[in-house]
Structure 1
Amino acid sequence: MTDTSFEFRQVEGGVPIKMWTRGVPVDEKAHEQLARAARMPFIFRHVAAMPDVHVGIGATVGSVIPTKGAVIPAAVGVDIGCGMMAARTSLMAHDLPDSLEGLRSAIEQAVPHGRSVGRGQRDHGSWGAPPPAIVEAWATLAVRFERLCDKHPRLKNTNNLTHLGTLGTGNHFIELCLDEEARVWIMLHSGSRGVGNAIGTFFIELAKQDMRKWHINLPDEDLAYFPEGTDHFDDYVEAVGWAQDFAALNRRMMMANVIAALRGRIAKPFEAELEAVNCHHNYVTRENHFGENVLVTRKGAVRAATGAMGIIPGSMGAKSFIVRGLGNPESFNSCSHGAGRVMSRTQAKKLVSLEEHLADTAGVECRKDEGVIDETPRAYKPIEAVMAAQADLVEIVHTLKQVVCVKG
């Protein structure tokens, strides 16, 4: 393995940045944001940038930030534990009905998705009365959540139980895909929903208050941090760990409901979860790198330790990949979490026509309306170029192409 696999950027007054971005566009603002993070005094060795890197709030999406003695809540973000789950079924492409509209409709009925806010009305993206299986799953998280709420009462009045097993909005999705052998996979993308957002927002603001209280000047207010050894550090690590567990469970509950919905529409009996992967890509965890114990924050990055399975999705009209990590130490055993945006949501709505969206999603049973153009394929980097740029981080195990896509 040679150093030519990544681009090396020296940062004045900070640690270097190693970027796996050969052949993919990187916005200048993303470069600037990475450099600001690299100047924080507690960064360990270097910052790693994945090929899907683009501007985020506080920290760049597609970045791996290792720290010693501190944690930056905005480097995790507010969709704590956001990630992917994929499961191979025993179905083949020929087992699916000719019209896939009924399957898409069944999935949409089985999993609350999107968001609707009206006076006195229930949000369609949450459960009105959570089903017994959701209530039972919530019980595995409830005691720890009550402990968090005892310390921080503001977290109690959030969408927690009512969001477990729900999809959300934005780039979250549920897909039926075919692999290189025409086998059917179920793949989905979501995180810790309303409760995770509340936890992330609360602690980001708390960190900013601490910085002001201690008169600590930052290159960006969103890089506010908690030093290890403080109460707020311990509280945040506890809360973020809980939210990550909620996110993983959220994906498992959605997967169970999607499988049940498909069994209601497909007459042929089938097995599911023959090969299953459930991985975060917005999270913080304790790991050992270069012989030292550090906190690793991955914001839009997936753990790719040797043999670790991961998922790298494309856009709603592109291929996705089930991958196996190659354990590259220079990336802190990480890879990209997707294709990465080249247009903001606002830009996509201005620059991409409905006709272009229809052409780019041809052959996929999905939303074809103007309300989803912010998620259209050309708002994202080409997934093939992203995969080529990280050939020394992961190996491709399966190549998937969606035939049904449900968006929030």
Structure 2
Amino acid sequence: MKTMITGNNLLEIGYSEGKTIGLALDTIAEHFKETSDVELLALLKKVKDYPESFLDDPILSKLATAMIEDASANVSDTIELNADAKDYYIFGENYIEEGARKQMDVAMKLPVTVAGALMPDAHQGYGLPIGGVLATNNSIIPYGVGVDIGCRMALSVFDIPEKHYFGKDNRYKRELIAFTKFGAGREFRGLERADHEVMESEAFKLTPLLKALHGKAWAQLGTSGGGNHFVEWGIIEFAERDEILNIDKGRYVALLTHSGSRGLGATIAGHYTKLAKQLCKLPQEAANLAYLDLNSAEGQEYWIAMNLAGDYASACHEVIHKRLTKAIGAKVLAKVENHHNFAWKETLNGEEVIVHRKGATPAAEGVMGIIPGSMTAPGFLVRGKGEIQSINSASHGAGRMMSRSKAIQSITKADMKAVLKDHGVTLIGAGLDEAPMAYKDIHQVMAAQTSLVDVIAKFEPKMVRMADDGSRED
């Protein structure tokens, strides 16, 4: 089988004339000779629509990078790295690829670095590895936060016993489709639009960039985007009563969501990364770790924009949860949510630091969080133990075992359907790059962080919605 994809095909799916088309065609010729044109075009469209999801992909990262910023930016060696990397802790060392360690080694040489840690789901990312935690001295790294600023998990536990879920699949599916919206650039229009107090935030008036983003942010409020974002119904089991949440032992219907700050966060990330690279010129291997001094005007601007994006991401989840809670006529027994692409001012060993958690869950003592598995593997409601060696952090999921391009090449639709059937999971949307087999074993990941969190409850996915990859059955 030989691919027949041309530049015109790429133009038809939204590529622009120039470097990215050449990169795409070169990538096809070198790596995708045996992939069908339908699957390949769907994958390439996903790279265009959600480039941040491919920044850790060994085959497609170069193309994704070109989509996000000018890859030929002139970076000169004006700020030297420290000769030796500071020591850092690795949790789940046996499950972490060499690329993630090398990236963390570079981050630990930054002159502003105070401490670091790698979580057991860590894998190679862009700048700071995904699953990397980095504490810095009064400095913020835009790509240490990530493209999808404020990406988070949110869980609602309902007063609906497990037995009342089964047999009502059509109802839950209907409401899930009616009140969620997935895909790059997707917006709500007219009366569909949600409202939330975050849209009245004074931060939107503070810079020309944020003013210009207000309209798009409002239109995308309550949408989920693409990549590995999802909205899913499931069953959560409390093996014993939890006094803090005031929930009795039992199995309840629950709603779990994963998404971030949509176009607002991505635009902020791109703008301030470019600015940081202009102001903080690092050696080539560290260029994507360019940082802003929080005492500078640019650093303060990014800090305000980042926090706005985090509040906005939280608002998106709130809109989704309120709409679906009302649709099924439920009462919420408990709601838990947490960021995992963000930076916080925290105290570490008596010193105020900026803690970047790029794909890591806050896990200070008593702090609640959600660590998902995959569309067929369980997720876990956890409570942090406040482990200083992890900088009060834990994993943000299972982590990828297989790159997106590798998953597309090696997993078939039949394989994926069989796994979904075996686990009794209904899937709406998603592509082969999100197949459960592409992820690490969540049980191994959890076993590697027993010193970081206590498991409070286990969530089992039953109906999952994700962005469609654009491919269709022949």
1:155/1:198 contact within 8 Å kept = no
Looking at structure 1, the residues matched to 466 and 210 of structure 2 have their Cα atoms a distance apart, in angstroms, of: 33
What residue identity is the alignment partner of 1:197?
A: A
Q: What aligned pairs does 1:53-72 form with structure 2 within 5 A after superposition?
A: 53-72=122-141
Q: Which residue pairs with 2:276 in the alignment?
A: 207
What residue identity is the alignment partner of 1:160?
A: A
Looking at structure 1, the residues matched to 289 and 171 of structure 2 have their Cα atoms a distance apart, in angstroms, of: 46
Q: What aligned pairs does 1:354-365 form with structure 2 within 5 A after superposition?
A: 354-362=413-421, 363-365=424-426
1:37-86 alpha-carbon deviations (Å, 9 max, x no partner): 11111111x31000000011111000110000321110101100001000
Q: Which residue pairs with 2:103 in the alignment?
A: 33
Looking at structure 2, the residues matched to 240 and 30 of structure 1 have their Cα atoms a distance apart, in angstroms, of: 24
Deviation (angstroms), 1:260? 2.2
Q: Which residue pairs with 2:234 in the alignment?
A: 177
Looking at structure 2, the residues matched to 388 and 19 of structure 1 have their Cα atoms a distance apart, in angstroms, of: 14
1:238-260 alpha-carbon deviations (Å, 9 max, x no partner): 11111111111111111111212
Question: What SS class does the counterpart of residue 161 from structure 1 fall into?
Answer: helix
Looking at structure 2, the residues matched to 157 and 183 of structure 1 have their Cα atoms a distance apart, in angstroms, of: 38
Question: What SS class does the counterpart of residue 159 from structure 1 fall into?
Answer: helix
What residue identity is the alignment partner of 1:14?
A: A
**89-98 or 74-83, which moves further after superposition?**
89-98
Aligned equivalent of 1:137, options 197, 200, 207: 197
Aligned equivalent of 2:145, options 66, 76, 87: 76
Question: What SS class does the counterpart of residue 286 from structure 1 fall into?
Answer: strand
Q: What aligned pairs does 1:6-405 form with structure 2 within 5 A after superposition?
A: 13-23=84-94, 25-44=95-114, 46-115=115-184, 125-129=186-190, 131=192, 134-141=194-201, 143-149=202-208, 152=209, 155-156=212-213, 159-180=216-237, 181-212=250-281, 216-263=282-329, 270-272=330-332, 274-362=333-421, 363-367=424-428, 372-405=431-464
Change (3 A) 1:203 1:104: same
Deviation (angstroms), 1:92? 1.3
1:166-222 alpha-carbon deviations (Å, 9 max, x no partner): 11111111111112232111110111111111111110111112134xxx4353211
Question: What SS class does the counterpart of residue 221 from structure 1 fall into?
Answer: helix
Change (3 A) 1:383 1:219: same
Looking at structure 2, the residues matched to 194 and 156 of structure 1 have their Cα atoms a distance apart, in angstroms, of: 8
Looking at structure 1, the residues matched to 154 and 210 of structure 2 have their Cα atoms a distance apart, in angstroms, of: 31
Question: What SS class does the counterpart of residue 277 from structure 2 fall into?
Answer: helix
1:101-147 alpha-carbon deviations (Å, 9 max, x no partner): 431232121122223xxxxxxx5x21122546x23434433x32122
Question: What SS class does the counterpart of residue 365 from structure 2 fall into?
Answer: coil
TM-score of the aligned structures, taking structure 2 as reference length: 0.75
What residue identity is the alignment partner of 2:108?
A: A
Higher RCO (C-alpha 8 Å, min separation 6)? 1
1:365-407 alpha-carbon deviations (Å, 9 max, x no partner): 113x7x5111111111100000000000000000110111111
Q: Which residue pairs with 2:44 in the alignment?
A: none
1:158/1:195 contact within 8 Å kept = no
What residue identity is the alignment partner of 2:84?
A: G
Question: What SS class does the counterpart of residue 323 from structure 1 fall into?
Answer: strand
1:261-299 alpha-carbon deviations (Å, 9 max, x no partner): 323xxxxxx312x12101100000100111111000000
Q: Which residue pairs with 1:7 in the alignment?
A: none
Question: What SS class does the counterpart of residue 113 from structure 2 fall into?
Answer: coil
2:198/2:311 contact within 8 Å kept = no
Looking at structure 1, the residues matched to 214 and 162 of structure 2 have their Cα atoms a distance apart, in angstroms, of: 44
Of all paired residues, the percent bearing the same amino acid is: 32
2:139/2:292 contact within 8 Å kept = yes
Looking at structure 1, the residues matched to 448 and 216 of structure 2 have their Cα atoms a distance apart, in angstroms, of: 39
1:107/1:262 contact within 8 Å kept = no
Looking at structure 1, the residues matched to 306 and 215 of structure 2 have their Cα atoms a distance apart, in angstroms, of: 15
Looking at structure 2, the residues matched to 275 and 205 of structure 1 have their Cα atoms a distance apart, in angstroms, of: 41
Is there any run of 5+ residues in structure 1 with no aligned partner, and where? 1-10, 116-122, 264-269
How large is the Cα RMSD of the aligned pairs? Answer: 1.9
Question: What SS class does the counterpart of residue 206 from structure 2 fall into?
Answer: helix
Equivalent residue pairs, number: 372
What residue identity is the alignment partner of 2:374?
A: S
